[in-house]
Structure 1
Amino acid sequence: MKNQRLHETDDTVSFAYEEADITPEKPVQTISFGREDEESRGVLGRLLGQVSLWKYGKETCCLIAIDHIGFSKDHCNNLRRAIGKTLGVEKEKVMLCFSHTHSAPNDTIENKYAMFVDRQIKEAVNSALKKLSPIHGAWGNAYGDIGLNRRLDNNALDRRIGIFKAVDPKSGELRLLLLRLTAHANVLKADNYLISPDYFGAVRDTLRQRFGCPVMVTQGASGNVAPKYFTSTLTPPDAGDQRFIRSEQSMGLMAHEVLKQVLTIIDNIEPLPFKRLGMCTSRLDLSADMLPYERAMEIAKEAEQFAGIDGTLWLAEVLRLHRSGIKTQKETIEIHYFSLGNGCLCGVANEIMCEFALRAQALTGNEFFYFGGYTNGCTGYFPTEEEYDKGGYEVYWSMLIYYIYFNRVFPFNRNACTLLIKGAVENAPR
């Protein structure tokens, strides 16, 4: 796909929204903290699957926001195909955006839960199909301080709170606020065993109460951005200095900051008829070269010393790959675009760092071009060249826990950051 032209007609864009409760009703295995005991112990907040349908002439697009750390790519593709079949479109017209909450079930282990989620979301799609009606809309950016770069020596942040405001063309009544935020959804840390959408849920509830319409929240390039506020009795490595604020009201504080900033701009966003709607995909092949086994042992030792991570199984897999003569592991990255008016949500399945979004926005020259992660899956951290050189959790150590989900044991090669940003910008719809 190269600079795909978007569908344009004189018709009005139609829209529908539906949501599904995807909260587990019994204890389940969770994912994301690498704990020995990952069984949930109750529910702090309900998990949602939020479905939005967008139709313009012959073009139909489906954007879905899901409270989860991120399904496997296989799970995502199967669900996208099933939804596409219902809508009569290819799976590339279906985008799954994950909140990356660290307090949701492990869909790989909990097969019944995975099937339940798929069923709930497909039912919501069917329901939304019956509700399509015209909208007007427009983008705006507020700027807020909900996250901090995990590195003390790195001040890079994407402070944009992207807002798409959709209204009824006749009454002007709000139909939807679609937000794009950039901060990890782990206000709750490793001592939390309750199911929760994390601060995404608080943002949705707070803004819905204030504006009286559905609020969808999508995640940005948050790989190296931790929430400013957190709730925990621990002092976790991603909130270990004086910049971070410990509070029992942390999720409410995050939501209040978002609301405060949205209020500064929301009345200045003037929804209008728009003729630009489309979803499309480009693909990029990237490589992760195998490091020497001696270096792998050093990484495992560092992970144990500084993060308490046991790399025994990871080391065994690295050794197996070496003995099998495998020198490189390759992966095809899907870069997915959802263009809406003069804005674009662009996503990949990786945990890309905020610099990806900042550089992509600068190269496109479009303040409403939002490059984000956790799209159609979650396949591990994707560092910048600068972070690659520093090593640590985002580059190496996390792989010791999650390699079994990513089909890679090492990060992508150092130049992959530049290649991905270039690919995302060059193939962006015009």
Structure 2
Amino acid sequence: MKQKDSFKDTTGRLAARFGLSQADITPPIGIYSRNWGAAAFDQAKAIHQPLMMHCLYIASFDQPPAIIVTADLGWWKNAADEKTLRFALLEHFDLDESQLIFALSHTHAGPSICSSDAGQPGGQLIVPYLKFLTQQAISCIETARSTLFKGSLIWNYGVCDLASDRDLKVDAQYLIGYNPLKTADTTLLVGRLHDSAENLKAVICNYACHPTSFAHENDLISPDFVGEMRNTVESVLAVPCLFLQGASGDLAPRRQYVKDPTIVEANGKQLGYAVLATLAQEQHSHKNWGFREALISGAPLACWEFQEQPVSTDFRQTVLSVEVPYKNLPSPEAILKEYESCTDRVLKDRLWRKYNTCKSIGNKKEAIIPVWIWKMGDAVLVAQANEAYSCYQMEVRAQFPDHTIVFINIANGYVGYLAPRELYDKDIYAVWQSPYASGSLEILIEQTNLGIQTLLTDETRLD
């Protein structure tokens, strides 16, 4: 049982020097942008809202700096494309791998970022666009680094019920869509960045929900609900709003797979208003809401108040290497042969994705999943490349109730889904799409918990 002096809100704080920047990364009209097997077209015809890139540069007072770059993009089909971009940034800024997180929002209405799609309609624009992304990322980081200010990053939990469970069983078939029979993780985590004078400089929205409002009928380039979320927050606060996609493998909006932009924007407004609601309670960088005393009234009352709270400057980064098993996968050559003989447009699209995944894996039997863990004062950031189910963030957060935990899916790469063991005997997309064998998510959860515990208790860097 907690002692009364430990009763306080779970609020993560970090004091450091921070830099911010943003850039427009909207691709040219005509670039290959077919993200849905059921789509009848290959190229977007117009722009719904611009795609954006943001950079948060964090310079510790006594440790190496670290950088988060966010981008309104979907996912990496080709591992080499992701590594080319990220390693170019590491080399340009002379960074260790642990110091950089390049996170995608996972919009399903963006351009292809796969160089292997060069032969598709509009595919000739992909490689130049990838080079453009690298240039924009370098420019963003340089700008953020040049605008450093002393400040505090404060995290608070909120709630938003935009996300719903999306594994729906209809008769004997599992579909991906709103499942009203299961409760979803609706946890929202909001970061507010202040300068030393307590002026708000930026807001960070960390939320788990697939940006699949737009779907196969949509012919617009769009950040999906993330764009309107940002518009809603920024129009009120007049500061940049960054988005970090959480562990959303099983989560998506109730209203999705639409062509109507107003429905997409309504989803974004819902999340944006939830961010603003979470920010409505004033927070102080050096104060926390803590238990003061018991007071006998008509009833025995627990009285709380703002109390001085030292802001931690402890900022360290590490990368775990978590080994999990692959399934028995077919060879890339066999998949390519099947792809070349296939005449069904939808099945051909599935095979092409499967080919790119297996090509990057080769003949390996075990996978190494890198997990970035940053101790950010009283908060902990966890980032990895796959589409983990929400139980990942729920179980880890439950293991560390006294620490704010930031979760990021699709960071520094992409391979596939990480679904719970109990789903592996069911015909669910997230299971048959993934190259990972049953039990992989459970291994990842266990190793993440151990990695966080080590970082919290060991003042030295993990190897």
Residue 102 of structure 2 is matched in structure 1 by 96
Distance between the aligned counterparts of 2:189 and 2:131, measured in 1?
Answer: 32
Residue 276 of structure 2 is matched in structure 1 by 263
CA RMSD, aligned part only? 3.1
Residue 122 of structure 2 is matched in structure 1 by none
Is the contact made by 1:83 and 1:91 (CA closer than 8 Å) also made in structure 2? no
Amino acid at match of 1:148: S
Distance between the aligned counterparts of 1:127 and 1:358, measured in 2?
Answer: 35
Distance between the aligned counterparts of 2:72 and 2:442, measured in 1?
Answer: 30
Amino acid at match of 1:183: C
Residue 16 of structure 2 is matched in structure 1 by 13
Residue 160 of structure 1 is matched in structure 2 by 187
Q: TM-score, normalised by structure 1?
A: 0.80
Counterpart selection for 1:282 from 317, 320, 332: 320
Offset of 1:412 from its aligned partner?
Answer: 1.2
Is the contact made by 2:34 and 2:41 (CA closer than 8 Å) also made in structure 1? no
Offset of 1:344 from its aligned partner?
Answer: 2.1
Change (3 A) 1:209 1:89: same
Residue 60 of structure 2 is matched in structure 1 by 56
Number of aligned residue pairs: 380
Residue 213 of structure 1 is matched in structure 2 by 239
Give the 5 Å matches for 1:77-96: 77-96=83-102
Change (3 A) 1:329 1:315: farther
Provide, for residues 263-295 of structure 1, a one-character-per-residue CA deviation record: whole Å limited to 9, x for no partner: 3331333223431323321111222231799xx
Give the stretch that moved more between structures: 75-84 or 274-283: 75-84
Change (3 A) 1:308 1:83: closer
Distance between the aligned counterparts of 1:250 and 1:88, measured in 2?
Answer: 44
Distance between the aligned counterparts of 1:357 and 1:48, measured in 2?
Answer: 26
Change (3 A) 1:31 1:308: closer
Change (3 A) 1:288 1:316: closer
Counterpart selection for 1:111 from 127, 143, 159: 127
Give the stretch that moved more between structures: 117-126 or 265-274: 265-274
Offset of 1:75 from its aligned partner?
Answer: 3.0
Distance between the aligned counterparts of 1:127 and 1:248, measured in 2?
Answer: 33
Name structure 2 gaps, 5 residues minimum.
Answer: 1-13, 118-125, 169-178, 287-310, 457-463
Offset of 1:228 from its aligned partner?
Answer: 2.4
Counterpart selection for 1:414 from 424, 435, 438: 438
Provide, for residues 43-76 of structure 1, a one-character-per-residue CA deviation record: whole Å limited to 9, x for no partner: 1111111111000123201001111112344333
Distance between the aligned counterparts of 2:16 and 2:228, measured in 1?
Answer: 30
Offset of 1:248 from its aligned partner?
Answer: 4.8
Provide, for residues 186-215 of structure 1, a one-character-per-residue CA deviation record: whole Å limited to 9, x for no partner: 110111121111111111111011111110
Counterpart selection for 1:32 from 35, 38, 42: 35
Residue 129 of structure 2 is aligned to residue 129 of structure 1:
no
Change (3 A) 1:44 1:281: same
Is the contact made by 1:64 and 1:95 (CA closer than 8 Å) also made in structure 2? yes
Residue 254 of structure 2 is aligned to residue 249 of structure 1:
no
Residue 74 of structure 1 is matched in structure 2 by 80
Q: TM-score, normalised by structure 2?
A: 0.75
Distance between the aligned counterparts of 1:60 and 1:39, measured in 2?
Answer: 40
Change (3 A) 1:391 1:364: farther
Change (3 A) 1:354 1:12: closer
Is the contact made by 2:378 and 2:403 (CA closer than 8 Å) also made in structure 1? no
Distance between the aligned counterparts of 1:355 and 1:309, measured in 2?
Answer: 30
Is the contact made by 1:140 and 1:269 (CA closer than 8 Å) also made in structure 2? no
Give the stretch that moved more between structures: 274-283 or 147-156: 147-156
Distance between the aligned counterparts of 1:316 and 1:117, measured in 2?
Answer: 25
Is the contact made by 1:138 and 1:341 (CA closer than 8 Å) also made in structure 2? no
Q: As a proportion of its length, which structure holds more strand?
A: 2
Name structure 1 gaps, 5 residues minimum.
Answer: 1-10, 234-246, 400-409
Residue 48 of structure 2 is matched in structure 1 by 44
Offset of 1:314 from its aligned partner?
Answer: 7.2
Indicate the SS of the match to 1:271: coil
Distance between the aligned counterparts of 1:339 and 1:31, measured in 2?
Answer: 38
Amino acid at match of 1:63: I
Is the contact made by 1:361 and 1:370 (CA closer than 8 Å) also made in structure 2? no
Distance between the aligned counterparts of 2:313 and 2:143, measured in 1?
Answer: 25
Provide, for residues 236-263 of structure 1, a one-character-per-residue CA deviation record: whole Å limited to 9, x for no partner: xxxxxxxxxxx65223322332233333
Give the stretch that moved more between structures: 223-232 or 148-157: 148-157
Offset of 1:311 from its aligned partner?
Answer: 8.2
Residue 171 of structure 2 is matched in structure 1 by none
Offset of 1:366 from its aligned partner?
Answer: 4.4
Provide, for residues 322-362 of structure 1, a one-character-per-residue CA deviation record: whole Å limited to 9, x for no partner: xxx96x64321110123323222212111111111111111
Rg larger for? 2
Is the contact made by 2:40 and 2:216 (CA closer than 8 Å) also made in structure 1? no
Provide, for residues 123-152 of structure 1, a one-character-per-residue CA deviation record: whole Å limited to 9, x for no partner: 111122210111123110111101110124
Counterpart selection for 1:374 from 388, 406, 410: 410
Change (3 A) 1:162 1:227: same
Distance between the aligned counterparts of 1:219 and 1:107, measured in 2?
Answer: 18
Is the contact made by 2:17 and 2:59 (CA closer than 8 Å) also made in structure 1? yes
Offset of 1:388 from its aligned partner?
Answer: 1.9
Is the contact made by 1:63 and 1:95 (CA closer than 8 Å) also made in structure 2? yes
- What fraction of aligned residue pairs are identical, expressed as a percent? 20
